[in-house]
């Protein structure tokens, strides 16, 4: 019997990766993914709790799915991810129509859980966080037939930092690194299936390997992954400034696939706030790291995360954040207003910056970041950039079909095509030389001047219905 599963993903790339694993473990149960919740026999929400708003969004989504149960009595609704981990059973009490709650470490048990819910008619919650140093088994990622030439590979789970604002260590546990041989094997499988760009994922990837004794730390892991034949591009996220060693930075000079893009969250430019956040570095130390990265990789694109309105953040502290942004200059910036998360250190502090003031500060940060990003993107006007073609652009319409891809520096490049005919879809996974004709606030648009004629295997195109035979 064919059944359909609808999965909605919230939050970070770790969750997106977990969603792939969820679909993977459900495959033997003959669940076909669908984009239409009304068609589904199983609705799963992979939730995020990093900020208050993410959690509210989950609850309102859940509410909209409840009525579907009246039309389909067999429908099961489940919540996975970080809210599930945080709330467990309590979530079953809050949402009466919810059948199943499972934590990020319980994805492998999902088929058995679903089976029990169906056969016993019971509502279940399994949120056992793996706490031991060993014995954890990562679900090995498997190439999807989604036609994408880019893939994520998780290299570790959890986080050992104790940033005062952050709930991640609570819901994802301590750091556990995937053995390097497994990472390399996974990357190799992806590349053999046609993937050309890999993003290595972890909450704090650059502390990779400190929980293991095989001597492979993050720089050595990069060496091994970069050596996989056929891998053109390699990225990683997220890094903590504290673990951003010279040894790591120097890899940008020596490893050809390592792309010229670095995301290094700073959170604040005030030493007083950084200390209360327990970030473990000063603004000057962070700036020294950024300067070093730029010295090793001139022209690198650089991005960060900023929190405004952390408890006790004064106007003077905030000004220091602005001057740090002004000094470092970011090409992309992700900014957030602080929200207290249950069980964190900062939740004990008085949340004393009024919401409208937090919103104002965020607005000021965004305006500054906007100016910096626009200035940087403007330098691309009339330049020819190399783009790995990922597929149809989000801006694509029937009248104006467009494809998209990214530069090594992570800039989104859209380019019109005559039609979405199969000929153009064959470009997916190819390197295109694109001349930039227009610069938009967040991306650029251009014309293809040359497309690579590769003979490399691209079996994933079968998923798009495109024959790869020449």
Q: Which residues make up the interface to ligand SAH (CB under 6 A)? A: 50-51, 159, 165-166, 168, 203-204, 238, 240, 265, 267, 305, 307, 336, 338-339, 341
Indicate the residue among 53 and 133 with the shorter CB distance to ligand SAH: 53
Indicate the residue among 63 and 354 with the shorter CB distance to ligand SAH: 354
Question: Residue 43: what are its φ and ψ, rounded to 5°?
Answer: -115, 125
Instruction: Tell me the closest approach of the beta carbon of residue 333 to ligand SAH, in angstroms.
Output: 10
Instruction: Tell me the closest approach of the beta carbon of residue 304 to ligand SAH, in angstroms.
Output: 8
Instruction: Tell me the closest approach of the beta carbon of residue 213 to ligand SAH, in angstroms.
Output: 24
Instruction: Tell me the closest approach of the beta carbon of residue 136 to ligand SAH, in angstroms.
Output: 19
Indicate the residue among 309 and 405 with the shorter CB distance to ligand SAH: 309
Residue showing tokens 């190439």 = 143
Q: Which of 83, 165, 162 is nearest to 353 (CA)?
A: 165
Indicate the residue among 79 and 167 with the shorter CB distance to ligand SAH: 167
Indicate the residue among 39 and 162 with the shorter CB distance to ligand SAH: 162
Instruction: Tell me the closest approach of the beta carbon of residue 163 to ligand SAH, in angstroms.
Output: 7
Instruction: Tell me the closest approach of the beta carbon of residue 270 to ligand SAH, in angstroms.
Output: 15
Instruction: Tell me the closest approach of the beta carbon of residue 49 to ligand SAH, in angstroms.
Output: 9
Indicate the residue among 159 and 274 with the shorter CB distance to ligand SAH: 159
Question: Residue 21: what are its φ and ψ, rounded to 5°?
Answer: -70, -35
Instruction: Tell me the closest approach of the beta carbon of residue 284 to ligand SAH, in angstroms.
Output: 20
The closest residue (CB) to ligand SAH is 305
Rounded CA gap, 218 and 244, in Å? 10
Indicate the residue among 40 and 167 with the shorter CB distance to ligand SAH: 167
Q: From the CB of residue 458, how many other CB atoms can be counted at a distance below 10 Å? A: 21
- Structure-block tokens of residue 293: 């990265």
Indicate the residue among 26 and 163 with the shorter CB distance to ligand SAH: 163
Indicate the residue among 123 and 172 with the shorter CB distance to ligand SAH: 172
Instruction: Tell me the closest approach of the beta carbon of residue 310 to ligand SAH, in angstroms.
Output: 8
Strands in 42-47's sheet, in edge-to-edge order, are: 31-33, 3-9, 42-47, 76-80, 100-102, 124-126
């Amino acid at each position: 019997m064919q059944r359909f599963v609808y999965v909605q993903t919230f939050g970070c790339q770790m969750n997106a990766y977990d969603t792939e694993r969820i679909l993977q473990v459900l495959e033997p149960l003959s669940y076909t993914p669908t984009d239409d919740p009304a068609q589904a026999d199983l609705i799963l929400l992979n939730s995020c709790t990093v900020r208050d708003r993410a959690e509210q969004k989950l609850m309102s989504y859940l509410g909209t799915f409840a009525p579907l149960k009246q039309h389909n009595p067999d429908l099961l609704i489940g919540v996975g991810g970080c809210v599930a981990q945080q709330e467990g059973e309590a979530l079953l009490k809050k949402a009466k129509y919810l059948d199943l709650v499972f934590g990020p470490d319980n994805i492998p048990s999902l088929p058995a859980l679903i089976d029990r819910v169906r056969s016993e008619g019971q509502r279940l919650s399994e949120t056992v966080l793996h706490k031991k140093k060993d014995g954890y088994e990562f679900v090995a990622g498997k190439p999807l037939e989604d036609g994408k030439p880019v893939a994520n590979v998780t290299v570790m789970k959890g986080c050992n930092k104790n940033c005062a604002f952050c709930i991640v260590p609570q819901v994802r546990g301590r750091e556990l690194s995937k053995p390097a041989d497994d990472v390399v094997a996974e990357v190799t499988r992806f590349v053999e299936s046609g993937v050309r760009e890999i993003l290595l994922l972890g909450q704090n990837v650059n502390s990779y390997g400190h929980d293991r004794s095989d001597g492979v730390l993050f720089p050595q892991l990069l060496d091994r992954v970069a050596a996989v034949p056929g891998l053109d591009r390699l990225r990683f996220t997220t890094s903590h400034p504290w673990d951003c060693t010279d040894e790591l930075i120097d890899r940008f000079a020596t490893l050809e696939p390592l792309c010229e893009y670095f995301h290094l969250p700073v959170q604040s430019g005030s030493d007083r706030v950084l200390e209360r956040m327990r970030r473990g570095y000063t603004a000057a130390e962070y700036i020294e790291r950024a300067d070093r990265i730029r010295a090793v990789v001139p022209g690198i694109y650089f991005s960060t995360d900023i929190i405004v309105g952390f408890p006790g953040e004064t106007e003077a502290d905030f000004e220091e954040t602005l001057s740090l942004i002004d000094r470092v200059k970011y090409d992309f910036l992700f900014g957030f207003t602080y929200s207290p998360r249950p069980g964190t250190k900062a939740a004990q502090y008085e949340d004393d910056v009024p919401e409208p003031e937090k919103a104002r500060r965020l607005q000021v940060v965004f305006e500054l970041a906007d100016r910096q990003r626009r200035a940087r993107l403007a330098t691309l006007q009339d330049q020819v950039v190399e783009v790995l073609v990922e597929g149809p652009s989000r801006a694509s319409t029937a009248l104006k079909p467009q494809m998209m891809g990214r530069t090594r520096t992570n800039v989104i490049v859209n380019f019109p095509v005559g039609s979405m005919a199969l000929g153009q879809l064959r470009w997916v996974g190819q390197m295109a030389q694109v001349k930039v004709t227009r610069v938009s606030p967040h991306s650029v648009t251009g014309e293809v001047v040359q497309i690579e004629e590769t003979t490399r295997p691209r079996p994933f195109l079968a998923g798009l219905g495109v024959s790869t035979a020449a």
